[in-house]
Structure 1
């Protein structure tokens, strides 16, 4: 990944930071997108100045397009997109959950990905080269009680990934998806204090798979849904 330009959404979250660290270690130049400038500064106070930090509301198509355009202006191109931005909400039973919950999950998990990809893909097509990695979930392989809105949104991400892979493979662009189970984060530990944390997948382990999917070694992979589950 030396000298590659890697755009990471959700860059201020646990997985976003781990993914940034993985690519920086391989010599990539990073475009780090978070929702607020202050959160980006907290997450990356000492990062090298050749990396680019951008604040944008990726649920807004125009804002996402503006962020991608700025990244291309400053860096010249985007070689890989890691669409990590998203959210989790149990939400309760489908018949009890407010309509706003499903809308929120679709905005945060689907629109953030689609808006960035829509803006980045034309440049990749022009160069006949590109990598896109999305984040699904093993929980979305089937419906589950109390998780309808979340699993529906992640299922949409997975189906869109497969569709984009079929659409873009002829243009030299790889589109694949990782499916984590429970990620070992401080927030998840606080929410499930009695769980066996040793069985959860570590952010760095998931980031390593994301980095592989953006490498030349994954050039034959199109539309893969890759489980990364630790021991769960």
Structure 2
């Protein structure tokens, strides 16, 4: 996605398959910041940071390093999150509930708490969170997961309304099944022909971040 001048792009969960695809799509010509739970190797010129996206302290530190290096942020892609099959609702443990809510909903609050000020420090920007198509309805043994992704989508809508007047757009993409090595290994008998290829998902995210997508905010784009 060509730009007149480099923009600073922050990607959480950057070591994941989708995070890597987004980095490949948005990296050329931009300043790239990759955030993972553990420090990962990165090409020269790319800022790689280790941070727990559910930790206020960790994200405050990461934001300070980003500000020191680049000053402001124009694009934020929050791919970090987690999936697991859980107990039936009547047997759901508090540990499962808290874990998935932290990973999929609270992490968005923590990340944007510290990065929105850096977006405000520039000339506007765009945020895209990765939700899931399964957030639209509950399913057996996915109660906590579906609830956590539905909570994320409500947070996206609320933040979009809150930041609309400041030139900051907030959207989410909701993949059905991404065509990743992990998903192929987990579902060896499934037909991946209808799954969403990673480059297609990355291009959809890039559109929402781009100037071409500036009329879109507070929306959930279902992929696949």
* 2:67 aligned to which of 62, 65, 72: 72
* TM-score using structure 1 length: 0.92
* TM-score using structure 2 length: 0.95
Which residue matches 1:145?
140
* 1:224 aligned to which of 201, 219, 223: 219
Tell me how far 1:147 sits from its aligned partner.
Answer: 0.3
- Distance (whole Å) between structure 1 residues aligned to residue 169 and residue 161 of structure 2: 9
Which residue matches 2:15?
12
Please tell me whether the aligned partners of residues 128 and 171 of structure 1 are also in contact (alpha carbons under 8 angstroms). no
Tell me how far 1:65 sits from its aligned partner.
Answer: 1.5
* 2:34 aligned to which of 19, 32, 35: 32
Structure 2: state its 5+ residue gaps. none
Please tell me whether the aligned partners of residues 53 and 110 of structure 2 are also in contact (alpha carbons under 8 angstroms). yes
Is 2:117 the partner of 1:130?
no
Structure 1: state its 5+ residue gaps. none
Describe the superposition over 1:102-148 as per-residue Cα deviations: whole angstroms up to 9, x where unpaired.
10001111122211111111232343501100111110101111100
Query: Counterpart of 1:127 in 2: which secondary structure?
Result: coil
- Distance (whole Å) between structure 2 residues aligned to residue 51 and residue 127 of structure 1: 20
- Distance (whole Å) between structure 2 residues aligned to residue 210 and residue 222 of structure 1: 13
- Distance (whole Å) between structure 2 residues aligned to residue 130 and residue 90 of structure 1: 35
Please tell me whether the aligned partners of residues 77 and 123 of structure 1 are also in contact (alpha carbons under 8 angstroms). yes
Query: Counterpart of 1:187 in 2: which secondary structure?
Result: helix
* 2:173 aligned to which of 168, 172, 178: 178
Describe the superposition over 1:27-67 as per-residue Cα deviations: whole angstroms up to 9, x where unpaired.
22110000111xx12xx4xx2x2210000111111111210
Query: Counterpart of 1:32 in 2: which secondary structure?
Result: strand
* 2:26 aligned to which of 13, 23, 26: 23
For the aligned residues, what is the CA RMSD? Answer: 1.2
